[in-house]
Structure 1
Amino acid sequence: MNSRELASLLEGEHYGKEVYISSFCIDSRRIKPGQTFVALRGRSHDGHDFAEEALKRGAVALLVERRLELPATQIVVKDSLQALRRVAKLKRENFKGKVIAIAGSAGKTTTKELVAFLLSRVSKVCKTPKNFNSQVGVPLSVANFPEDCDYWVVEVGASALGDVKRLVELIEPHVRVITSIGEEHLETFGCVDHVILGNGEVFSHMKEEDIGVFPAWLKDCYRVDKKVLFGQEPFTAKEISLSLEGVSFLVDGVCVFLPVPSLAIVENTLCALAVLHALGLDWRAFLGCLKEFTPVEGRFRVLKRDRLFVIDDSYNANPLSVRKA
């Protein structure tokens, strides 16, 4: 898409020469040559103040809320974040594959990585990077997804009621997942009951063919017609064995090993297998692949040097994930 076409779709004003729009970035420090810099206004910083730096680093266009005195292609809109969300919405409307949304109080990123890792064995997968699960991170990720993917695996975060609902409205997932429920962001949720409600927004506006995936112990908390529950047969773990090398357990009589020394990843794995089942795939055929899974940074990664072992589980955590660790 070229910049003039994008300006028209966003009902914005176009200034400067017409350029090709490939992808978007909101951080001037991480801009890559050829990207469009989206200037967002935050609580303490205004992205418009960093537009010049973005251009110096290779940005080909600016998506801004006011015209800047800079020699660059500019698309001026009323609200940069809403414009980015609109780009993501257009991408979703044209996407013909399957979308998986992953919510929950803990284990979202690891489960997202597991699902994407397993699906990548059979298809091309797009996933939200790192923990880009916010009202900014999700539309930015989706706007940058290539068009030839078969699956989108999208982590959706929440710190208050309404957060997950807004993201679900944007990505319209076919499979909707809750990994776990526990204390999180109580300063804004207020209580665990609101945590249950907030994460349950992942099931809002479900179509007849959509499927929910969540822990069996939550089955009385949500009204979901089509669902796959983990924590009950066949998605249960037996004979769990933990060592510095990783964790092994039986699923449906088959021994599974992951090179991650964590009990928490057992539940994440059961959830990921339930997602495969919800997608109509033979999840048992993927069990052997799990031994090649590598955890993401800061989440039970084992660092070895000589005879020393360091377990890096330093990612910011809530009480539930600390207890699981």
Structure 2
Amino acid sequence: MISTEDLYQLYLANPIISTDTRNITAGCIFFALKGDLFNANEFAQQAIEKGASYAIIDEEQYVSAKCILVKDVLAALQDLARHHRQQLQIPVIGLTGSNGKTTSKELINAVLAERFKTFATFGNLNNHIGVPLSILAIRPGIEVAVIEMGANHQKEIELLCSIAQPTHGIITNVGMAHLDGFGGFEGVKKGKAELYAFLKANNGYTFINRDNPYLLEMSAAAGLNKLVYYGTANGNTIKGSLKSSDPLISVEWTNHEHSSSVKTQLTGSYNFENILAAICIGDFFDMTPDEINRGLANYEPKNNRSQLAETASNKVICDFYNANPSSMTAALNNISVLSAPQKTAILGDMFELGPESAEQHEIIAKQAAASGLDQVILIGKHFYALRDQIKGLFFETPAEAADYLQKHTIKDNLVLLKGSRGMKLESLLQYL
């Protein structure tokens, strides 16, 4: 069996990692991971034939000249990333939360990139495989990294912290997400607080939204002492206010020395706290207000999160990458106060809510019906179960909704399109 140190020497000579034979790069190292429905050991030789320098496997029958045997491929990948992280003498900002993780990560990176050579998690590679891959993608010359950490059960953030080893950290918020895996809202708080526990144990800095009582409670319980606060009240390192959000967000802020304002390309008033977090972190790293504002103003959302798109017939708030009760409530609150001739909400089922699923879908359906919108369309089996109880148009599948939209054209509307990723609501955009 190869040691982590010896594997690291191979990595230094071949610093590209692949876990998919469809994306083999010449000279990479292929890690043959296993899943419920696949065993990549079977494709190790194929990866070599496609140009990989080595394949890391954990089944002896597949050993060959360039196939290296380890006890467990996933553990080897995580250990390699952990070892690489220990060689990096740079700040690493660990980021988690129920909502706004990816948008916050992108905003923080956009700000810091105005002065530093940065690395940020690509897309949402934020789990037990994605975080190691992210760490191993950090190259020499990088000055600061922003690592997103997602979780759907307790102890997962603890594991990811052991790999990413953040020197700084932020929890964007805690909400009604992944309730099934976490075991309810208190379980969500406990799971996310694992980041605070790591920062406390390793004397790291923590950025906290002082307007959020849950985060204050969690930080106090963790006994954190290197705290940097942001929020809307006096006494914070960064104090901000939402100047406008109809539809794009403008923010005024001060760091007690300078007052400033910035207009962003983000929609959704709920993104105000994500913007303020990026300002706070940029200020902490001694960036000027001009640098911070330039990073924020130039950031253009392209990941179907709080993205405002104009079709031939409507303006569409594309927020269909994911959804949970907390983010649904925020999105409905946002569209209800925006100015538009007519407004429509198209909402898809929310996944991973466990025993609370029926209740939470009913709450959101009732909120949508009471939001004063011109039309509400609800899609998915959980929403469809409410069709006889709540006012709105209900469809079991996106295909059925698409058929309706083709026959009943929506025009001159502001449309909120939001649902869990598995609902694939992007398929409806062509009909709007």
Whether these two folds match at TM > 0.5 is yes
Moved more, 216-225 or 154-163: 216-225
Report the counterpart of residue 126 of structure 2 in structure 1.
133
1:188-227 superposed matches below 5 A: 188-205=181-198, 206=200, 209-216=203-210, 217=213, 218-222=215-219, 223-227=223-227
Q: Which amino acid aligns with 2:217?
A: D
Match of 1:290 among 281, 286, 296: 296
8 Å contact from structure 2 (residues 4, 76) kept in 1: no
Whether contact under 8 Å (1:105, 1:181) holds in the other structure is: yes
Cα distance in structure 1, aligned partners of 2:272 and 2:313: 27
Between 1:93-102 and 1:231-240, the stretch displaced more is 231-240
Partner of 2:324: 318
Measure, in 2, the Cα distance between the counterparts of 1:180 and 1:18: 36
The equivalent of 1:3 in structure 2 is none
The one of 244, 268, 278 aligned to 2:274: 268
Matching of residues 34-113 of structure 1 within 5 Å: 34-67=27-60, 69=62, 73-113=66-106
Name 2:240's counterpart in structure 1: 237
Paired with 1:77 and 1:98, the residues of 2 have a C-alpha distance of 31
1:2-36 CA distance string (max 9 Å, x none): xxxx9443578xxxx99942211112222222221
Unaligned segments of structure 2, at least 5 residues: 332-432
Contact 1:211 / 1:278 at 8 angstroms: preserved in 2? no
Partner Cα distance (1:122, 1:159) in 2: 34
Change (3 A) 1:18 1:118: closer
Could you say which structure has the greater relative contact order, defined with CA pairs below 8 angstroms and 6 or more residues apart?
Answer: 1
The residue number in structure 2 matching 1:159 is 152
Question: Secondary structure of the equivalent of 1:32?
Answer: coil
Of Structure 1 and Structure 2, which has the larger fraction of its residues in helix? 2
Matching residue of 1:249 = 251
Q: Determine the C-alpha separation between the residues in 2 that align with 1:320 and 1:256.
A: 27
Q: What amino acid is the match of 1:9?
A: T
User: Retained in 2: the 8 A contact 1:19–1:61?
Assistant: no
Structure 1 gap segments, 5+ residues each:
1-5
Aligned to 1:304: 310
Count of residues paired in the alignment: 315
Amino acid at match of 2:278: A
Please report the TM-score for the alignment, with normalisation by the length of structure 2: 0.67
| Structure-1 separation of matches of 2:262 and 2:299 | 12
AA in 2 matched with 1:251: W
Deviates more, 1:201-210 or 1:85-94: 201-210
TM-score, normalization: structure 1?
A: 0.88
Secondary structure of 1:220's counterpart equals helix
Query: 2-side partners of 1:278 and 1:164: how far apart?
Result: 24
Stretch deviating more after TM superposition (115-124 or 270-279) = 270-279
Q: Which moved more, 1:68-77 or 1:45-54?
A: 68-77
* Shift in Å, 1:259: 0.9
Residues 46 and 75 (structure 1 numbering): CA distance in 2 closer, same or farther, change over 3 Å? same
State the identity %.
27
**What is the CA–CA distance in structure 2 between the aligned matches of 1:159 and 1:313, rounded to whole Å?**
20
Contact 1:111 1:269 in 2 (8 A): yes
Match for residue 9 of structure 1 among 4, 9, 21: 4
